């Protein structure tokens, strides 16, 4: 099949860029431009909302920055930050940047041992931590100062020095972002001010986000997707950010109704569960089943607090085509993008005017992409070069050399292709591809995308113990299983559940090419193990052989 192998068309821009060189410069200009606008909001309790203007945020982060410098923080030193999504997290980040130092964002949902490992690997001398982390992380690595994150909200004496530290250059490092570890070993991605600002300016040009908009922050703030695409882009555009108090569904949905966002960054897992909830509500009785999907979607959005929504973005992993079609059916304004930590969050995104949400969209203006080592179907490794690409991995030249060439090309490890209009499609990970003895390439993700839309399957992972037999571990969907059984599963119903799933997989196998058919499967008694960014830890299943296990298993865990 003949397909494009190079970037020929790019995501169109509609606004002029501001040509801002560093995050420091951006903070100074935008704080003044949007001074009286609301920057951040969060519910204090069920009755009241606390908000800060851009001007108030500027005062807080410049004073907090001066406080950090008074403790001995110097330019280009490393400051780790750990805590839940909140205004004080963002203010802490800005304070470190303002001081000319480098931020090491830590995963608040990770195990303490992992956080300590990253503190050592990153050579962080300062740690800003929310309540609950300060004691657990004391006496770790090179950390000399642990500062409570709530100090970011203290208004200090105006006699304290609030001037900008020595100005940074665009190529100076802003962040060292440690990967979540789907392959087991965290690596520190060094992102410069130039790479982050390049993506901010390009996204600002391409998407109509304004001071009238409100974003809803629920995704992990340490991750580049939420921090750059959410927190930093919002500051650049003058958009208000409403922080959810919790990731617990009840509180999150309650906050969503109060926030009534116009923009919401999301992941496939959340969107698939949102769609599942809407579908279940529509199927409840004759009246709702009879309603047109567009009308029911409008009612559902209003009930959820999403009636003002103009943009819901899916990123962090590929959204299944079935979920994409389902959300579009209910008229959710969905856009899917593609990127990675090593490219400051974004490589491509769907244009607002003409989305193709089965794809990762069109390549950003600041990048070029090549598809290399293509197979007979035109699918090959996605390689990217441009202003947003990282400087390398911190103190890891070997890992850097493996994926970053001397002339700036980054091997993403993802497989994909361009269609004739320049939209980039991602088909799977190069490392997870199964190559059979007959020379056939099988992408596990392709089969997983056919399993998860089935009503009885919540999630699935596909692999092969011998590059020949295709196997799967499946976590069942409770309501779908209940529907098939005619009642909620009871103790002793394992064989009946197994038979239901076996029938569905047998039916799916009939539609798959012979070399892609599932030969063995097991049923997981708990959710599949994931990183804190909700990606299944595929490496844990690498050595598993389902033919040697029982029908029902407990998923493997990190040792």
* DSSP labels, 132-151: TTTTTTTT-TT--EEEEGGG
pLDDT of residue 416: 94
275 lies in some domain = no
Segment 87-137, tens digit of pLDDT = 999 999 999 999 999 999 999 988 888 899 999 999 999 999 999 888 888
Segment 388-415, tens digit of pLDDT = 999 999 999 999 999 999 999 999 999 9
pLDDT of residue 5: 80
**Per-residue pLDDT band at 417 (split at 50, 70, 90):** very high
pLDDT of residue 159: 46
Segment 220-230, tens digit of pLDDT = 999 999 999 99
pLDDT of residue 269: 83
* % residues pLDDT > 90 (the chain): 69
What pTM was computed for the model?
0.87
pLDDT of residue 184: 57
Q: Domain limits at 546?
A: 450-553
534 lies in some domain = yes
Give me 20's structure tokens: 């801002």
Q: Over the chain, what is the mean pLDDT?
A: 91
Query: Residue length, the chain?
Result: 559
Mean of the pLDDT values across residues 183-203? Answer: 92
More confident residue, 63 or 288: 63
Q: Residues 365, 201: contact at Cβ < 8 Å?
A: no
506 lies in some domain = yes
- Does pLDDT of 162 surpass 70? no
Q: Of the ranges 5-14, 369-378, 499-508, which one carries the lowest mean pLDDT score?
A: 5-14
Segment 58-78, tens digit of pLDDT = 999 999 999 999 999 999 999
CATH code, domain carrying 499 = 3.30.300.30
More confident residue, 434 or 3: 434
505 lies in some domain = yes
Put the strands of the sheet holding 38-43 in their side by side order: 49-53, 38-43, 240-243, 214-217, 263-266, 311-314, 334-338, 348-349, 362-363
Q: Residues 442, 470: contact at Cβ < 8 Å?
A: yes
Segment 455-480, tens digit of pLDDT = 899 999 999 998 889 999 999 998 89
25 lies in some domain = no
Structural domain tally of the chain? 1
Distances (CA, A) of 345 to 9, 101, 177: 20, 21, 11
Q: Residues 426, 415: contact at Cβ < 8 Å?
A: yes
502 lies in some domain = yes
């Amino acid at each position: 099949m003949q397909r494009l192998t190079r970037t020929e068309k790019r995501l169109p821009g509609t606004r002029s860029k501001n040509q801002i060189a560093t995050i420091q410069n951006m903070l100074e200009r935008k704080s003044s431009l949007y001074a009286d606008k609301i920057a951040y909001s969060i519910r204090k309790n069920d009755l009241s909302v606390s908000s800060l203007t851009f001007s108030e945020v500027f005062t807080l982060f410049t004073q907090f920055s001066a406080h950090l410098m008074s403790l001995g923080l110097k330019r280009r030193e490393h400051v780790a930050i750990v805590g839940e999504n909140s205004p004080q997290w963002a203010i802490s980040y800005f304070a470190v940047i303002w001081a000319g130092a480098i931020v090491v964002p830590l995963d608040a949902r990770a195990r303490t041992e992992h956080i300590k490992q990253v503190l050592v690997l990153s050579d962080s001398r300062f740690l800003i931590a929310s309540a609950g982390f300060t004691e657990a992380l004391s006496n770790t690595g090179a950390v000399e100062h642990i500062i409570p994150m709530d100090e970011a909200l203290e208004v200090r004496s105006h006699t304290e020095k609030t001037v900008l530290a020595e100005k940074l250059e665009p190529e100076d490092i802003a962040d060292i972002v440690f990967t979540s570890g789907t392959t087991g070993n965290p690596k520190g991605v060094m992102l410069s001010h130039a790479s982050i600002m390049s993506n901010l300016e390009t996204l600002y040009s391409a998407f109509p986000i304004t001071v009238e908009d409100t974003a809803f922050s629920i995704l992990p703030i340490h991750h580049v997707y939420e921090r750059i695409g959410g927190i930093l882009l919002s500051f650049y555009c003058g958009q208000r950010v409403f922080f959810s108090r919790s990731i617990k569904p009840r509180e999150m949905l309650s906050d969503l109704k109060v926030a009534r966002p116009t923009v919401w960054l999301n992941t496939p897992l959340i969107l698939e569960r949102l769609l599942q909830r809407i579908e279940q509500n529509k199927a409840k009785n004759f009246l709702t089943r009879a309603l047109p999907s567009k009308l029911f979607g409008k009612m559902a959005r209003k009930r959820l607090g999403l009636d003002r929504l103009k943009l819901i973005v899916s990123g962090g992993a590929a959204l299944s085509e079935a979920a994409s079609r389902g959300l579009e059916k209910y008229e959710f304004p969905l856009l899917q993008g593609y990127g990675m930590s090593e490219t400051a969050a974004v490589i491509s995104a769907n244009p607002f005017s003409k989305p193709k949400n089965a794809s990762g969209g069109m390549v950003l203006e600041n990048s070029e992409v090549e598809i290399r080592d293509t197979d007979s179907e035109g699918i090959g490794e996605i390689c990217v070069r441009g202003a947003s690409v990282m400087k390398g991995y911190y103190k890891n030249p070997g890992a850097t050399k493996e994926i970053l060439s001397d002339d700036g090309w980054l091997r993403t490890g993802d497989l994909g292709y361009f269609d004739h209009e320049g939209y980039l499609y991602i088909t799977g990970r190069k490392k997870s591809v199964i190559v059979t003895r007959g020379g056939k390439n099988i992408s596990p993700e392709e089969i997983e995308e056919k399993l998860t839309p089935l009503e009885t399957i919540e999630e699935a992972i596909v692999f092969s113990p011998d590059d020949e037999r295709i196997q799967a571990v499946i976590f069942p969907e409770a309501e779908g299983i209940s529907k098939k059984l005619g009642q909620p599963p009871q103790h002793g119903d394992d064989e009946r559940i197994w038979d239901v799933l076996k029938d569905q997989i047998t039916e799916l196998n009939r539609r798959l090419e012979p070399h892609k058919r599932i030969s063995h499967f097991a049923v997981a008694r708990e959710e599949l193990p994931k990183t804190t960014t909700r990606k299944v830890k595929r490496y844990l299943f690498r050595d598993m052989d389902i033919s040697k296990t029982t029908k029902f298993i407990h998923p493997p865990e990190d040792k």
